Structure 1
Amino acid sequence: MGADASSKFTITEQLLQPESLYLTGNTSTLYALGYMDLKKEGPLVIELPPGMLGFVDDAWFRFVENLGVIGPDKGKGGKYLMLPPDHQGAVPEGYFIVRPDTYSNLVFLRASIKDGLAPAVENIKSKLRVYPLAKADNPPATEFVNFSGKSYNTVAPNDFSFFEGLNQVVQEEPIDAIGPEARGLLAAIGIVKGQPFKPDARMKKLLNEAATIGNATARAITYDPRIGGVYIYPDTDSAWTTAYADKNTSFESNGAMGLDARVLFYFNATGVTPAMAATTAGQGSDYALAYVDADKKPFDGSKTYKLHLPKDVPVNDFWAVTLYDTQTRSMLQTGQKFPTVGSQSEGMTKNADGSYDVYFAPEAPKSKEGNWVQTVPGKSWFTILRMYGPLEPWINKTWRPGEIELVN
């Protein structure tokens, strides 16, 4: 995408679009992402604009720190200082300090477009700055790379190349960034820090098969979850699920790692922060995912479905429904610019009682064009309902979305 330095930030100036293969990205917020290389550039300063919502994840996609509204600057903006894992010596004052365990780190920022896209873009491009601490007295300009509508692939491979990428992380990052058990598992297939990864033909074949099996296993765990704490309305036969089992973003419980819970999240998502699972009335966002219809059957792109949202949808800001391709877990590519419809959509209409009906079909039902998201015959899909500024009736479940029903 062209963001080949820490001082280059990607930004969705025209929002994220289906050409980009990005795990469950949405069209309802403005994204800005940076990849921090602390080995190459040393300590890095991030001057964060006000009003951001973001976090830092390390090279192993583990949570490091929150930024913005959910971080120590409380949405007022401020200067963050990211220190390499081997940093020694004094730490200057006047910064929010971030200490990751790896050299490479993802800075993931979102900005609300409640008041319009243009002011959100301007806020980031005029105020976000990233530069080495060593150049703080005369910081270089931060460049922005617009990746709206760009075709690229961030989805992890499901063949032997997955292990090549894994080896790259092991070689580039500190050895103690992961524990002895994880290092032992990697060593068992020939991935050892400081040694070349040269599997023979037999091992390559086995690893290629392992990646394929791993991908299939992750699909089964994600699309038909059998662990507890996943279904939002467990007392009913509802299909609506959450990305975090039991709202737990560490995936650990009773001293044990929830292996399926961790897969459930990471197969569909790019970054993790505890804030994603901490719902505050009237602030932030909360999500519900549906992989099957009201009859527990996978969605068929050739058929017509309807989602009923009862009146008084409990949001302080807005709601949106987005469709995803079950193969790529990225936005469904159709004839529409965005595979999304919601309360901010042009042409969206309410029923007489204030409720909404949303339709999913290859062709728009008559007189329902504004309430319709296009699907593709021969391709399955799943959906995410996003509630921005969710209110108490959503949180306490006294209001709930209908199941997605087959029309014809």
Structure 2
Amino acid sequence: MSKFLTTLFIALCFGSIAQTSDHRLSNNEIKELAKDAYLFGLPAVWIEHQYYVNSYATEAQNAKAPVNQFAHGRAFANAESREFVGANTDVLISSASINTTDEPLVITLPEMGDRFWLMQFINTWNGVPAVPTSRTHGGQARTFFVVSPEWSGEVPFGMDLVRTDTEITLIVLRTYCSGVEEYAEVNALQDEVKIIPYSQWNKDYQVPAHVALNETVDGTKDVNALVFGKSNETFFKDLSRLLIKNPAYTVDTPMMERIAKLGITPREDFSFEGFSKAQIKAIDEGVAEAKQAIFARARDLGELKNNWILTYDMGRFGTDYTYRSAWTMIGVGGNLLEDAFYPTTILDADGEILDGSKHNYTLTFTKENMPPAHTFWSLTMYDDESYLVANEIDRYRRGDRSDMTYNADGSVTIYMQAERPSEDKVSNWLPAPKRGFRVALRIYTPMESVFNKSWLPPAIQKNN
């Protein structure tokens, strides 16, 4: 049975029982159901808002573009940037909110040569239905035929099929850039990335110069504030509506059956009408517990090894709904392990919080234990709020494509400290703030030793 038919079957079988729930469910059962429903549904509600915030623009500019247009990041973030936490300084990011309901879309990519690129499709559940990359498609120019879940037909000659599996779909295109010296070259590649309605393919299609804003949505507020500021009735109303065209996975059927007992099914008209005050209070309590669970899980998003947090299942959350919601809140669209591995830490080898006001630190990779990347790796410095760190040399990362000095035995040591080190160490210096900080290690196209978990990043050592 397809995802859509499964969702429809559940809706028809269960419907809403809000009118009779006080006779069939205890308040404690209602509280638990509300908690489960919130944990399950947060990604859908969240990503819909992200979709509308990203597309709240009359023309493509900065990080926003109208639906079915790309917004291109033309330069790396810097220490003054406060638009995103955990900013990436390895790739320039292009993003789009797309809609394939009316017709398929054609997305063209220019020839990339040996440059790393990754075009990730993100669905309503923070899953990754497709991710063509340089790993899977090489560096030749490509044309992708992007269709809705219900589309059937013949794929045009010379195009690669990409099928979305929910109505709400985001795209994040990452293109490697070595730094300022490559901006012009990478920006030119970005300009050749096009989204074209299929009906306009092979015609003189011009991107609309101006698109009216969608005044039915609030595209100005932070998604955090929008989602967590909702009333619980509105949240569940939105979830019920979203389930119509953004069906849950087949594996979610047991959860769909559970939350149907609260009347949360694919429908437009969910409300708290018919619930008693005591039942609504129980729902509020359940949602409060769900939020607490999400915030708690956000502090535990992977395995702790050598005091690094290692996450191996981004984009593949299964039925761990608390985990999926926590990752949605922290970062929509994490890379699949085949494409990137992102160990992060705020701890040194002694388990103490990294603090540039108290210590200098080193991270040494031996020749035999270099980050196992088929393409490249980097280490980025962030302050304790996950923003890039201002420093005298405007440096935010070090990696195998940096001009670092290697030791005689083939190892490399990165110096993380607030004060400038001696000149022989400056090439390997990653400036730290005079406060708490965290670092992120990015390994692109990881090797088998990451998949089998035999490779681990070494612990960060105090240097004084």
* Same fold, judged at TM 0.5 (above): yes
> Structure 1: any 5+ residue segments left out of the alignment?
145-150, 233-237, 279-283
Equivalent residue of 1:123, what SS?
helix
**Does residue 294 of the first structure (1) align with residue 349 of the second (2)?**
yes
Which residue, out of 24, 48, 54, partners 2:109?
Answer: 48
Distance 1:267 1:366 in 2: 41
**Does residue 118 of the first structure (1) align with residue 184 of the second (2)?**
yes
Kindly indicate whether the alpha-carbon contact (under 8 Å) linking 1:243 and 1:265 is maintained by their aligned counterparts in 2: no
Distance 1:68 1:221 in 2: 29
Percent identity for Structure 1 against Structure 2: 21
Distance 2:66 2:328 in 1: 25
Which residue, out of 415, 440, 444, partners 1:384?
Answer: 440
> Is the alpha carbon distance of 1:338 and 1:133 closer, same or farther for their aligned partners in structure 2, counting shifts above 3 Å?
farther
**Does residue 93 of the first structure (1) align with residue 150 of the second (2)?**
no
**Does residue 218 of the first structure (1) align with residue 297 of the second (2)?**
yes
- Give the drift of 1:251: 3.9
Equivalent residue of 1:122, what SS?
helix
Distance 1:370 1:213 in 2: 44
Distance 2:451 2:165 in 1: 35
- Give the drift of 1:295: 1.0
Please list, as runs of the form range in 1=range in 2, the aligned pairs for 1:394-405 lying within 5 A after superposition.
401-405=457-461
Deviates more, 1:180-189 or 1:170-179: 180-189
Equivalent residue of 1:118, what SS?
helix
- Give the drift of 1:349: 3.6
**Does residue 277 of the first structure (1) align with residue 340 of the second (2)?**
no
Which TM-score applies when normalising by structure 2?
0.65
Equivalent residue of 1:33, what SS?
strand
- Give the drift of 1:101: 2.4
Equivalent residue of 2:343, what SS?
strand
What CA deviation, in whole Å up to 9, does each residue of 1:206-251 have, x standing for no partner? 47734641343223322xx5xxxx356xxxxx22342215xx8534
What CA deviation, in whole Å up to 9, does each residue of 1:85-114 have, x standing for no partner? 3446x3442232222221121112122235
- Give the drift of 1:338: 5.4
- Give the drift of 1:394: 7.6
Aligned to 1:194: 268
Equivalent residue of 2:299, what SS?
helix
Distance 1:375 1:190 in 2: 51
What CA deviation, in whole Å up to 9, does each residue of 1:174-201 have, x standing for no partner? 3561145444566677755302556989
Backbone CA RMSD of aligned residues? 4.1
> Structure 2: any 5+ residue segments left out of the alignment?
1-53, 58-63, 210-219
Equivalent residue of 1:277, what SS?
coil
- Partner AA of 2:197 in structure 1: P
What CA deviation, in whole Å up to 9, does each residue of 1:24-52 have, x standing for no partner? 4420112211111234x532211223333
- Partner AA of 2:91 in structure 1: T
- Partner AA of 1:57 in structure 2: I
Kindly indicate whether the alpha-carbon contact (under 8 Å) linking 2:298 and 2:330 is maintained by their aligned counterparts in 1: no
- Give the drift of 1:123: 1.6
More strand by share: 1
- Give the drift of 1:203: 7.2
Distance 2:429 2:315 in 1: 33
Aligned to 2:45: none
Kindly indicate whether the alpha-carbon contact (under 8 Å) linking 2:224 and 2:329 is maintained by their aligned counterparts in 1: no
**Does residue 340 of the first structure (1) align with residue 404 of the second (2)?**
no
Aligned to 2:377: 319
Distance 2:226 2:242 in 1: 20
Kindly indicate whether the alpha-carbon contact (under 8 Å) linking 2:362 and 2:414 is maintained by their aligned counterparts in 1: yes
- Partner AA of 2:170 in structure 1: L
Kindly indicate whether the alpha-carbon contact (under 8 Å) linking 1:242 and 1:288 is maintained by their aligned counterparts in 2: yes
Distance 2:282 2:391 in 1: 43
- Give the drift of 1:404: 0.5
Equivalent residue of 1:119, what SS?
helix
Please list, as runs of the form range in 1=range in 2, the aligned pairs for 1:9-28 lying within 5 A after superposition.
9-17=70-78, 19-22=81-84, 24-28=86-90
Aligned to 1:171: 241
- Partner AA of 1:177 in structure 2: P
Aligned to 1:64: 129
- Partner AA of 1:64 in structure 2: P
- Partner AA of 2:311 in structure 1: A
Deviates more, 1:46-55 or 1:318-327: 318-327
Please list, as runs of the form range in 1=range in 2, the aligned pairs for 1:350-365 lying within 5 A after superposition.
350-365=406-421
Distance 1:250 1:118 in 2: 36
Equivalent residue of 2:144, what SS?
strand
Aligned to 2:168: 104
Distance 1:399 1:152 in 2: 41
Distance 2:254 2:357 in 1: 47
Which residue, out of 97, 104, 107, partners 1:35?
Answer: 97
Equivalent residue of 2:442, what SS?
strand
Distance 1:398 1:62 in 2: 26
- Partner AA of 1:104 in structure 2: I
Kindly indicate whether the alpha-carbon contact (under 8 Å) linking 1:321 and 1:342 is maintained by their aligned counterparts in 2: yes
> Is the alpha carbon distance of 1:220 and 1:188 closer, same or farther for their aligned partners in structure 2, counting shifts above 3 Å?
farther
Number of residue pairs matched?
370
- Structure with bigger gyration radius: 2
- Give the drift of 1:342: 2.8
**Does residue 242 of the first structure (1) align with residue 343 of the second (2)?**
no
More helix by share: 2
